[in-house]
Amino acid sequence: MKPGVLAERNAFLLSERGPSRPQRQIVAKAASNANRIDQLPQLVKGWIADDAPLLVTCALGDDAPAAEPLVREIASARDGRETVLIVCENRAHPCYERLANDGRLTVCHAVVDRVCIAPKTARLPDRRRQVLVHAVWEWVVEQAPSQPEVLRQLESGGVLVVDDIAPFRERKLLVVNGLHQILALKCRLLGIEHLALGARHAEVLAVAEPFLDAIEAAHRARWPDFAHDVTYGPERVRVFGDMPDTTERILGDHLVRANLTSLLDRLDARVFAGARTASEHGFDVAVFADVVDLLIAIVGDGDLYYEPPELPAAVDDRTVVERFGALLRGWTTPRQSEQFVERFAEALAVTAA
């Protein structure tokens, strides 16, 4: 019997019709935001009670701790039968380590690259949603010492199971997520709302393509034994050009004058981590300096900020400037860093209330 698959919110089908055709996501009947087993659909309760291996996937971000009691209850109910939790997170919450140490289930970390967008009109009850998912995808899972049966079955469906997920995670964060941020920032500066148009725009590509080249070179130097794919980055540019995505969806909750820290945190993890790797291996980091110039230009233009329905807690400009300075550590000279910080502070001052 095949293992049951419990999807936290939704499941998706990948199109077999060609890499340039996005396909609407299919919401699984078993999708649930339950807090206890007795609130789960009957189908899922049957999976939990069955002797077959059970696979649970999580992509909850900062909400992960709220699901921890349910996962523990499931692990207890399984009573030693194979139960695997696959963590599909860019940044795993510490609660997953607690679950791994519990000993009643196997926790595997994964890298999932499914380029998708969620139209505002596609919201469903219970916070579920329908999204468009591109047919170009990647799902990599780190093997567990116990080599669970469910991972062997996932491999048969095209999932890559590896001993070390680190090089895959770094590539995905920098090439997919980092590229996404850079495309959106440049589009915002140029007044391009639809990312599909920006991904074909000469001025946008003039920033994106050198960034991809720099990331590829640094990644090769850091992971010389990794099976590098020169088409990985350019293919993602094409994917972004296929999807009806917007700069507002990417930046709307982060490019906010009251609090820029979430934007800076994202850029640090998804762009400037690559700058530090490039610098460490002796590569030119001029392209990352260009991204800093882009960021400063945007910060200094009050018309480019968003006003989301729920404003984040305000952070004073001194804290924002300090956070910006942290982005520059490890890849700029002290003099360069000082000049960048001075320009960033001046740009903030221009848009101060």
One digit per residue, the tens of pLDDT, for the chain of length 353 reads: 233 333 333 333 333 333 334 444 444 444 556 788 888 888 888 989 999 999 888 888 888 888 899 999 999 999 999 999 999 888 888 999 999 898 889 999 999 887 776 655 555 555 555 666 777 888 999 999 989 988 988 888 788 999 999 999 999 999 999 999 999 999 999 999 998 899 899 999 999 999 999 999 999 999 999 999 999 999 988 888 888 888 998 999 999 999 999 999 999 999 999 999 999 999 999 999 999 999 999 999 999 999 988 888 889 999 999 999 999 999 999 999 999 999 999 999 999 86
Domains present along the chain, CATH in parentheses? 4-163 (3.40.50), 167-350 (1.10.1040.10)
Ranges of beta strands (E only) in 29-159 are: 54-58, 83-87, 106-117, 132-142
Q: What is the pTM assigned to this prediction? A: 0.84
CA pair distance 105, 82, nearest whole angstrom = 7
Task: Report the 10 Å Cβ neighbour count for 212.
Answer: 22
* 100, two tokens: 């791994």
Would the CA dihedral through 320, 323, 327, 332 be positive or negative? Answer: positive
Residue 4 belongs to what H/E stretch? strand 4-7
Separation in Å, CA 178 to CA 94, 151, 224: 23, 29, 21
**Contact call for residues 175 and 208 (beta carbons, < 8 A):** no
Rounded Cα–Cα distance for residues 217 and 119 (Å): 35
Element holding 346 (H helix, E strand)? helix 334-350
- Nearest residue to 89 (alpha-carbon basis) of 269, 277, 328: 269
Report the amino acid identity of residue 47.
Answer: W
For residues 309, 313, 316 and 320, what is the CA-based torsion angle, rounded to 10 degrees? -80
Distance CA 175, CA 169 (A): 10
pLDDT of amino acid 20: 38
